[in-house]
Structure 1
Amino acid sequence: MSAVISEEGGVVKAELEGRLDTMNVNNMEMQFTAGIAPKAMPTIVDLTKVTFIASLGIRMLLTTCRTLDRRGAKMALYGATPPVMEVIETTALSEIIPVVGSEAEAVAAVKG
């Protein structure tokens, strides 16, 4: 599991890759939240290379989103594969965090 965090045009972008399972989330959650939350900027999360997401991965995304929300910033997810999207919908995460198909749609969701 890896997370590459960058900033462009006033938007933070987190590119996640691999399995968001118990072992991997425990190893990278601090890097993910530390790279996003302190900036309190609109944030998009690229899920195109995430192959699996477990409950701890859902919690990591939800906690980060709530932290950003308290600081006045929005977060959106994009590019979820069908198996990952199924978990997102089953857990109702998509009712809290916008989940869209493309990076452009995600940027529009957090800047709008």
Structure 2
Amino acid sequence: MSLATEKSADVLVVMPEGQIHSANATGIEAELMAQVDKGERKMVMDLARLEFISSAGLRVLLVLAKRLKQEGGALVLCGLSPQVREVFEISGFLAILTATATREEALAKLA
């Protein structure tokens, strides 16, 4: 599992690659919260290279979204593959979190 990041104006784009599950969710959450602690307020999670996400991974994204909202920011997801999108749909998380098809749309939502 790797978490690549890049800045696009005032938005931090995070690109997880691999899988987010109970064995690595705590470390990923710590990395993401460290970014918020450093002052990041707008984040796009580009999930195009995410192969699998478990309930532990969903929890990380929910905690991140809540923290960003508390800080006056926002989280937008993009690039969900069909299998990852299905997990979000079944869990009801697409009703809670904002998701777009492309990174460009996600960045536009945060502009």
Pair in the same fold by TM > 0.5: yes
Helix, strand or coil at the partner of 2:47: strand
Q: 8 Å contact 1:46–1:103 — kept in the other structure?
A: yes
Whole-angstrom CA distance in 2 between matches of 1:61 and 1:82: 18
Aligned residues of 1:3 and 1:14 also touching (Cα < 8 A): yes
Give 3-state SS (helix, strand or coil) of 1:80's partner. coil
Could you tell me whether the CA contact under 8 Å between 1:47 and 1:79 is conserved in 2? yes
More helix by share: 1
TM-score where L is the length of structure 1 = 0.91
State how far apart, in whole Å, the 1-side matches of 2:33 and 2:108 are. Answer: 22
Letter in 2 for 1:75: L
Q: Where in structure 2 are the equivalents of 1:42-57 lying within 5 Å?
A: 42-57=42-57
- Percent identical pairs in the alignment equals 27
Gaps of 5+ in 1: none
Q: In structure 2, what is the Cα distance between the partners aligned to 1:27 and 1:12?
A: 18
Q: How many residues align?
A: 110
TM-superposed CA distance for 1:4, in Å, is: 1.5
1:64 is matched with which residue? 64
CA contact (8 A) 1:3 1:32 kept: no
The Cα RMSD (Å) is 1.2
